[in-house]
Amino acid sequence: MLKVENISVKIAGNQILSDISFEIEEGDILMVIGPNGAGKTTLIKAIMNTVKHTGKAELKGKEVSKISPLALARQIGVLTQKNAQLFPYTVEEVVSLGRYAHQTGILGSLSPLDKEKIEESMNLTDIAHLKDRSILTLSGGELQRVFLAAVFAQDPDLLILDEPTNHLDLQYQISIFDTIRQWVKRENRGVIAVVHDLNCAFNYGTKALILNEGKVEAFGQVRDVLNRETLKRVYKVDVAQWMQTLLNYWN
Amino acid sequence: MKPSNKNINIKKLIPKSLIYAIFIALFLTGLLLSVWVGSVDIPIFDTLKILLNKLPGINFTHNIPKSYIDIIEGVRLPRVILAALVGAALSIAGAAMQGLLRNPLADSSTLGVSSCAALGSVLAIALKLKTPILPQMGVFLSGIAFALLSFVAIIALSYRIDPSLSTNTIILTGVIISMFAGSMISFIVFVSKEQMRNILFWTMGSFAGRGWEYVAITAPIIIIGSLGILGYWRELNAFALGEEKARYLGVSVKRVKITIMVFVSMLVGVSVSASGTIAFVGLVIPHITRMLSGPNHRHLLPLSLIGGATFMMFTDLASRRILRPAELPIGVVTSLIGSIIFIYIFHSQRNKTS
């Protein structure tokens, strides 16, 4: 579905990413993990062609950099880590922005389908009761769900999520990933998610990509990639040991 | 700490149609008052009749003295219409700049775009720039070109200094550019042998003595520029989430940005060439409108347009009456109101971020 070939990014003389290649198929949930500064967010930008890079990303055989922003937005939805919020837009207005690429009328009014998708997305992320609230009055977790809803409203084939469970409490972390797992089951869909929580990567991922210092440390099926030795090497901590210790608290 | 959402609930209670109705009513009141009040006393019903007579299919003017009609149609009406046009233009341009730059303090005056447009016009007059068909058109074109140039320069310079384009960086860059353009204007006006209206006109603005020929030049450009910006309300909403996010939503960021900048420059350039730099209108009106209607550009843009026109007619009226028979430069009135609101926005923004 998405094929990334030899992507490298250099910003102000610093090599941020070198020679990244991987591929995901329909139905995949690819978990991108790695320590802070490994280049995860930059990888998303390179795929979406919003940062200067060499190499290429192909979506269903077509080079992403050659697709217009409008056509691309109908196929790929991106949840960014940082979203500016300055003016008191309502939750519903922000989620409606997800329909931008689908609105065709000159006046840009919402079609019944647009309205349906907006409502569906708000229900999916459990924010329908907030729809008239100003986004400036929301908590971090509520806001994250609003931006997630906007991406769902975009109705893309490929979801790229940069730390989707950021700011979310456990209940919503689980429900969001359950939702994503359901979502991807439909034909022709795929997910790439940058996550920090390795348990979450294990539990929900089909594939994993470990980035370290801008290079691919490992890529493949989750069970093959997330092994004790690799994680130890990347995080410089015996992760498995640490998880065992944590688990003991609960036993 | 979460801010209270009390005022948001109040906002929900005001239906949009009511806000539009109030704005239009104020506009019509402003129009009538501005045309009615003046050095010659004309009964208000005669004024109303002469105004209504302008509508197609109505003929009310039979027993009204010819001198009344001449004063209203020939002197007061063009000036008032020009004020309304310029107010609408500066106000919608301000709203567009604030959306584009995600900066509630952006305005043609605070960014220095107005000063540069004035510099362009002054230069054209000093160099006796003549255009073939309409001789005064050179002044307007030069004003528009300089507005665009300065807009590009401000954004490029701000990006260089601070890629996140923070409010403070943009405003500081605007101050520098403003000061530069201001000193150039003073210099050119001072050394030029050309009969040029005084410096005060370019720095404070005025509608004094403006006739129909000014309306004829400005109206088409302002209508095109305003319609152009109105067409981008969804994109301006998307920009509020940041340029990267807007791009992922499907907006062709670069193309949209340049197009909006061209429309804004047209509006500011033509306004300044016609009436000098009138500061802060583009800051005050969108701000008040946003408090009433919310930040959605679908309503913010058209309401700012009507609100700006209304505000400018009333301030022009005030500038004519406060020290009568002398006339205050209109910029004195707008700057007085504007600077207070500027401090208020700046202050409340600081509180929000800290």
Rounded to 5°, angle at Cα B229 from B233 and A103: 35
Q: The complex's ipTM?
A: 0.93
CA pair distance A149, A123, nearest whole angstrom: 8
**pLDDT higher at B164 or B115:** B115
Nearest-by-CA chain B residue for A84: B241
**B229 contact residues in A (CB cutoff 8 A):** none
User: In the prediction, which pLDDT does B10 show?
Assistant: 46
- Reported as a single tens digit per residue, the pLDDT across B61-95 is 677 888 888 888 888 999 999 999 999 999 999 99
Query: CATH number of the domain that B236 lies in?
Result: 1.10.3470.10
Nearest-by-CA chain B residue for A134: B8
Domain region containing A64: 2-248
Question: Residues B183-197: what's their mean pLDDT?
Answer: 78
How many structural domains compose chain B? 1
Domain region containing B240: 79-353
Measured from the Cβ of residue A56, the count of other Cβ atoms closer than 10 Å reads: 17
User: In the prediction, which pLDDT does A114 show?
Assistant: 92
Measured from the Cβ of residue B323, the count of other Cβ atoms closer than 10 Å reads: 10
User: Is position B125 within any domain?
Assistant: yes
**pLDDT above 60 for B6:** no
User: Is position B139 within any domain?
Assistant: yes
| Min Cα separation B318/chain A (Å) | 32
Q: How far, CA to CA in Å, does B302 sit from each of B21, B23, B89, B151?
A: 12, 10, 11, 23
- Answer yes or no: do A100 and B253 touch at CB < 8 A: no
Strand partners, A58: A3, A63
User: In the prediction, which pLDDT does B68 show?
Assistant: 86
- Reported as a single tens digit per residue, the pLDDT across A10-63 is 988 899 999 999 999 999 999 999 988 899 999 999 999 999 999 999 999 999
User: Is position B342 within any domain?
Assistant: yes
Q: Which of A69, A90, A108 sits opposite B234 (nearest CB)?
A: A108
- Answer yes or no: do B3 and A84 touch at CB < 8 A: no
**pLDDT higher at B166 or B248:** B248
Q: Which of A83, A88, A108 sits opposite B294 (nearest CB)?
A: A88
Question: Residues A86-95: what's their mean pLDDT?
Answer: 92
User: Is position B69 within any domain?
Assistant: no
Q: Which of A97, A137, A154 sits opposite B5 (nearest CB)?
A: A137
User: Is position B45 within any domain?
Assistant: no
User: In the prediction, which pLDDT does B327 show?
Assistant: 85
- Answer yes or no: do A133 and B5 touch at CB < 8 A: yes
**pLDDT above 80 for B199:** no
User: Is position B317 within any domain?
Assistant: yes
How many structural domains compose chain A? 1
Query: CATH number of the domain that A198 lies in?
Result: 3.40.50.300
**pLDDT above 90 for B175:** no
